[in-house]
Structure 1
Amino acid sequence: MTGTEASVTRGREGSVAKGPALFDLSGHRALVTGSSKGIGLALAIGLAEAGAEVILNGRNAEALESAREALEECTGTKAHSVAFDVTDEAAVQDAVREIEDRIGTLDILVNNTGVQHREPLLQVPADTFEQVLHTNLTSAFLVGRAVAAGMVERGRGKIVNICSVQTWLARPGIAAYAASKGGLAMLTRGMCAEWAGSGVTVNGLAPGYVITELTRSLVDDPAFDSWIRGRTPAGRWAAVEDLVGTLVWLAAPASDFVNGQVIAVDGGLTSVI
């Protein structure tokens, strides 16, 4: 294959993208759940910088508006915010309908909403376990199904589920979280199995240990910080910006024949023992 041939991708309808167009999201519209701060907001900014029109989501409308203003100031592009609870089936259906009626059809969905719970498994209440599963796994099913209905009808779409290195690895005290992320990987594959034939790609992005507000206590713990740096071949924690390139690739034409995969962005952590 020549270099020119290698730079060309043919989509489901036979369209051709070359060179920079492989990663160009201009004219695409993306919903990012859980994007009022942290990883979700960084991913939303990355999509906007690649040309996408972004819709931010969270439950706190005031926090979402602040995030939207920050995104617009950072990227110079217009964004939207729609507050709704991704674990509420009726709210999800209403919100997706509102977005597509008021803003436009969705080309990209990033299921980023997630919650962590740290407690020995023998002490985790059953309702807490269910809450973690509902927030991290069921929400991706609810939002994914609602958005995919239109994608399947239109014959195109990109869904990226934010998994974790805990998709494959377990640590004491976070069994509920690991179970939810392992389930999310299989939901990703199930979505691929059902929707790939309709032109929808569904993949997972699995971050390693990332510096965020939620992990600050771990970063500031000298013992844990030293363990992470020693356990990770790259020798450092990830910054939220480290995740953006892989997300843009998974959302762009460059990955049109990548489907049902979970891509680790972890500095090599899952490659060594």
Structure 2
Amino acid sequence: MTPTPVLFSLAGRSALVTGAGRGLGFEMAKALAQAGADVVIHGRNEARLAAAAEAIGTATGRQVTWTAFDVADFKAGRAAIAEIAGRFGRLDILVNNVGARDRRPLRDFTPEEVGALFATDLIGPTLLAREAAEIMAHHRHGRLITVTSIAAQIANRNDPVYTAAKAGLTGLMRALAVDYARAGITSNAIAPGMFATETNQSLVNNTEFSAFVDIRVPVGRWGHPPEIGPAAVFLASNEASFVNGHVLVVDGGQTIRM
């Protein structure tokens, strides 16, 4: 009797998750590892990456490795992609999660500061996706997953450059979905809402802001970071093979509330 396939299994797949030393990237990397993928996590802080890789390995029973580079450094990113593909013989999944925050009025930005934020949040991920897609196309299989934000759909005051970069990622994801689909590669995005990550802890502890979350988010709370992981596993899996060019919003319903 033929065994029933395990749904959402990523066994035999290799994955790179950028910005995975903590927060949502860490949780997505852990979920991919739990599903059976060989996971490489990325960041710039080597000590943090080493600790994160060990934590994920302890939680999942799988060996997780790490690579450190600045996504705005294209040569370093290209070298890292090539090294990972050489190590595993392929690269199946790229989760473009890394992103810098610089939220202030447009009048306060210099041209150089706009360029720096775009280099990290948009240009770097674009070039990483290009390198990954070329490798994936050779094997006729791949999953490009771009982590955008609900800020790509709804704007907040005094946050124009970050919002523009995230909206650009959404456009990039859709363009890649068209360009690479015939090569066996799907391209999708995850748009998180308000999650209680380390970087948001001061807001989580702010009674007034948390009261706003209770009103604004239909489920009445912050997102728990582990709740983002299954979204990445789904989009990376064979079960999502006909999902292409989609933004999977994980926000407790915030963006659909009047």
- Name the TM-score, length of structure 2 as normaliser: 0.95
Shift of 1:104: 3.3
**Superposition pairs of residues 196-235 of structure 1, within 5 angstroms:** 196-235=181-220
Conserved? CA contact 2:28–2:230, under 8 Å: no
- Counterpart in the other structure of 2:40: 55
> In 2, are the aligned partners of 1:209 and 1:237 still within 8 Å (CA)?
yes
Q: Residue 245 of structure 1: which of 224, 230, 246 is its match?
A: 230
8 A contact 1:29–1:104 mirrored in 2: no
Query: Shift in Å at residue 19 of structure 1?
Result: 6.4
Name the SS for the 1:23 alignment partner. Answer: coil
Q: Tell me if 1:86 matches 2:88.
A: no
Deviation (angstroms), 1:223: 2.0
Q: Partners in 2 of 1:196 and 1:112 — Cα distance?
A: 21
Matching residue of 2:13: 28
Deviation at 1:179, TM superposition (A): 0.6
Which position in structure 2 is the counterpart of 1:73? 58
Give SS of 2:32's match. Answer: helix
> Deviations along 1:227-268, whole A, 9 cap, x unmatched?
122101010110111111111110001110000111100000
Deviation at 1:20, TM superposition (A): 5.3
Q: Which blocks of at least 5 consecutive residues in structure 1 are unaligned?
A: 1-17
1:221 shift after superposition: 2.1
Cα root mean square deviation, aligned? 1.4
Contact 1:161 1:188 in 2 (8 A): yes
Spell out, residue by residue over 1:30-59, the C-alpha distance to the aligned partner (whole angstroms, 9 max, x if none): 100111111111110000011111001111
Where 1:57 maps in the other structure, the secondary structure is strand
Offset from partner CA, 1:184-217 (integer Å, 9 cap, x none):
0000001111101111000000000011111112
CA contact (8 A) 2:17 2:94 kept: yes
Flag structure 2 segments of 5+ consecutive residues without an equivalent: none
> Once structures 1 and 2 are overlaid, which stretch shifts more, 97-106 or 59-68?
97-106
1:116 and 1:174 in contact (8 A); partners too: no
Which one of the candidate residues 237, 247, 251 is aligned to 1:262? 247
**Does the residue aligned with 2:189 lie in a helix, a strand or coil?**
strand
Give how far 1:142 is off.
1.2
Equivalent residue letter for 2:180:
W
Per the alignment, residue 105 of structure 1 pairs with: 90
The percentage of counterpart residues that share the same residue type is 38
Q: Structure 2 residue aligned with 1:135, among 120, 125, 140? A: 120
Q: Select which of 101, 107, 111 maps to 1:126.
A: 111
State the alpha-carbon separation in 2 of the partners of residues 179 and 198 from structure 1.
29
Compared CA separation, residues 266 and 19, structure 1 to 2 (3 A): farther
1:125 CA drift (Å) = 2.4
Aligned with residue 140 of structure 2, among 144, 148, 155: 155
Amino acid aligned to 1:117: D
Contact in 1 for aligned 2:186/2:241 (Cα 8 Å): yes
Measured after TM superposition, the shift of residue 103 of structure 1 is 3.7
The separation in 1 between residues aligned to 2:52 and 2:174, in whole angstroms, is 31
1 CA distance for matches of 2:59 and 2:124? 29
- How many matched pairs? 256
Superposition deviation, residue 143 in structure 1 = 0.8
Task: Say if 1:141 and 1:187, in contact at 8 Å, map to a contact too.
Answer: yes
Match of 1:170 among 149, 155, 165: 155
Name the TM-score, length of structure 1 as normaliser.
0.90
Letter paired with 1:223: E
Larger deviation, residues 53-62 vs 252-261: 53-62
